[in-house]
Structure 1
Amino acid sequence: MNGFEIYKKMDDDVQAIYRSRLLTEILLSLNDGSKKLSQLREITGSTSQALIPKLRKLEADHLIETKGREYFLTPAGKIVASGIADSFVTFWTINKFKHFWLRHYLEEIPSPLLKEIGCLYESEILKNRGMEILNIYNNQLKMIKEADHIYGISSVVTKGDTDSISERVKEGVPVELIVPLHVAEELKRSPYLKKIEALKDYENFKLMVMDEDIKVGLIVTDKRLSLNLYKKEGIEYDISTGLFSFDSKAIEWGEMLFWYCKGKADFIKFQ
């Protein structure tokens, strides 16, 4: 049974929640912790007369329960409320950055990560504009400079990035990089070859290659996330626009993307 069939089969219960502002607000409020009736009045801006029938319905559906004078989510209610909260965060994230998603190639982001894209809601889009033609690049170099560890997925390689990474490795910062085959081939040529070879004896440096193209550019550190994508056609890497975040959930999302790609990569053995 697919999602549409389940929706039609359970339309009365499911639609009732999404149709009713109060039912939704009660569940989302209790998802943050127990509440008294007076607190629910304040949060929802509604009267007791309006709230009580909704609370009784949620109790009858075994989604909430009362202890003393407070309302709590039941275990089933926590699942439902969490799902509702996640759906709203996902929709809000898609809408907040809709031009970024519409103009970029998302097909290389694994489906499980796309489902968790709401983790990026506390992010911002930075662009290269006017005199700030290196805004994205400079922010990424700043990230690398301030990091205590660095995970990266590189769809392109530049001399500045290589120098910055090399410096941090030599300072003892753990660095793990994943590159596609075409970048790995480029690293075998000047001016990159000597820089990479100089790092071969550093145990805190790991370089890995994937035998398929990677349509993302990712830097995730202990402090920040940077995400760049290919333009919509999936041919040209977009260096002019990027998504950045200091939020812990966004950083965790970036780490999950890195670990997913790492599971498909092979370590480069230095000769």
Structure 2
Amino acid sequence: MNDFEIYNEMEDDVQAIYRSRLLTEILLSLNDTSKKLSQLREITGSTSQAVIPKLRKLEEDHLIEAKGREYYLTPVGKIVASGVADSFATVGTINKFKYFWSTHYLEGIPNPLLKEIGYLYNSKILRDRRTKILSAYSNQLKMIKEANHMYGISSVITEGYADSISEKVKEGIPVELIVPLHVAEELKQSLYIEKLEILKNYSNFKLKFMNEAIKMGLIVTDKCLALSLYKKRGTEYDISTGLFSPDPKAIEWGERLFEYCNIHSETCF
């Protein structure tokens, strides 16, 4: 059975949740933690007469249960509530940054991470302006300077990045970096070779490469995430625009993106 057939079969059940503001709000509020009736009234801005029938409906569907004076999600309810929350976060993130997504090459992000793009909802976009150029780039360098650890994925290397990373490694900060094969080869032959030879002696520095093309830039520290992408056609890296977030969920997303690429990478030295 394909997705469309499942939708046709389950349309009424799904619409029963999404059509009702109260049902949705109750599920989302209980997804955080258990609540009393008075708390649900306050959160939803509704009366007991309005809330109680919805609670009964959710109990009949085995999505919530009452223990004492509090309402909890059942194990099945947690699955449903998480799905509802994820759907809103996903659509919200796409709409909130629609111009950014629509003008950049998303195919560089693995599908498992694209499906969880809602983790980036609490982010902001920095882009160059006439009065403020290199805004995104400057913010990335600031992130590296303030990091207590750093994971990076880069399809290009600049002197600023190289110097900032070198400083952190020499401070004893753990740094792991993944680059495409062609960049790894360039590092061995370019003006960065001396820096690389020095960094090779530090146990807190790891450099890996991927054989396939990397169509994004990622910096993940203990404090923030920065994501940069190629422009729409996938041929030009956009250093002028980036997505940034200090949200722990976004940082977690970035760490999983790094780990996904890390598994498919090989050690340079």
Alpha-carbon deviation of 1:74? 1.4
The residue identity in structure 2 corresponding to 1:110 is P
Measured after TM superposition, the shift of residue 37 of structure 1 is: 2.3
* TM-aligned CA deviation for residue 38 of structure 1: 2.5
How far apart, CA to CA, are the structure 1 residues paired with 2:35 and 2:150?
Answer: 42
Q: Report if the CA contact (8 A) 1:35-1:70 is conserved.
A: yes
Indicate conservation of the 8 Å contact 1:155/1:216, yes or no.
Answer: yes
Deviation larger for 250-259 or 194-203: 194-203
* Cα distance, 1:100 vs structure 2: 0.6
Deviations 1:7-54 (A, max 9, x none): 221222211111111111111122222222222222222222222222
TM-score by length of 1: 0.95
Letter in 1 for 2:209: V
Aligned residue identity for 1:247 = D
How far off its partner does 1:173 sit? 1.2
State how many pairs are aligned. 269
Q: Residues 68-124 of structure 1, C-alpha deviation per residue, up to 9 Å, x if partnerless? A: 232222111111111111111111111111111001000011111011111111111
Q: Distance in 2 between matches of 1:150 and 1:65?
A: 43
Aligned with 1:172: secondary structure? Answer: coil
**Structure 1: runs of 5 or more not aligned:** none
- The residue number in structure 1 matching 2:84 is 84
Partner of 1:221: 221
**Residue 177 of structure 2: aligned partner:** 177
Q: Shift of residue 194 of structure 1?
A: 1.4
* Alignment partner, residue 262 of structure 2: 262
CA shift digits 1:45-64 (9 cap, x unpaired): 22222222222211111111
Match of 2:78, as an amino acid? K
Residue in structure 2 matched with residue 165 of structure 1 by the alignment: 165
Q: Aligned partners of 2:53 and 2:145: how far apart in 1?
A: 57
Check conservation: 1:108, 1:215, Cα contact below 8 A: yes
Residues 182-197 of structure 1 correspond to what in structure 2 (within 5 A)? 182-197=182-197
Counterpart for residue 73 of structure 1: 73
CA distance in 2 between partners of 1:248 and 1:16 (Å): 32
Give how far 1:267 is off: 0.6
Deviation at 1:218, TM superposition (A): 0.6
1:126 deviation in Å?
Answer: 0.6
Q: What CA distance in whole angstroms lies between the structure 1 residues aligned with 2:172 and 2:231?
A: 35
Contact 1:159/1:191, CA 8 A, preserved across alignment:
no
Whichever residue aligns with residue 230 of structure 2, its letter is Y
The AA in structure 2 aligned to 1:129 is R
192-201 vs 37-46, which deviates more?
37-46
- Which stretch has the larger CA shift, 12-21 or 105-114? 12-21
Q: Secondary structure at the match of 1:164?
A: helix
Tell me, in whole angstroms, the C-alpha distance in 2 between the residues paired with 1:166 and 1:115. Answer: 34
Distance 2:235 2:120 in 1: 24
- Tell me the TM-score normalised to structure 2 length: 0.96
Superposition RMSD in Å: 1.3
Local SS of the residue matching 1:207: strand
CA, structure 1 residues 199+34, in 2 after alignment: closer, same or farther (shift >3 Å)? closer
User: Matched residues in 1 for 2:29 and 2:169: separation?
Assistant: 46
Is 1:147 matched with 2:153? Answer: no
2:252 equivalent to 1:252: yes
* 1:115 corresponding residue in structure 2: 115
Cα distance in 1, alignment partners of residues 173 and 35 from structure 2: 46
1:211 Cα deviation after fit: 0.7
Aligned-pair distance for 1:151?
A: 0.9
Q: Tell me, what secondary structure is at the counterpart of 1:107?
A: helix
Partner amino acid, structure 1, of 2:47: T
Q: Does 1:54 align with 2:57?
A: no
What is the match of residue 19 of structure 1? Answer: 19
Q: Which amino acid aligns with 1:111?
A: N
1:156 has 2:159 as partner = no
Hey, what's the Cα distance between the residues in 2 that align with 1:75 and 1:224?
Answer: 32
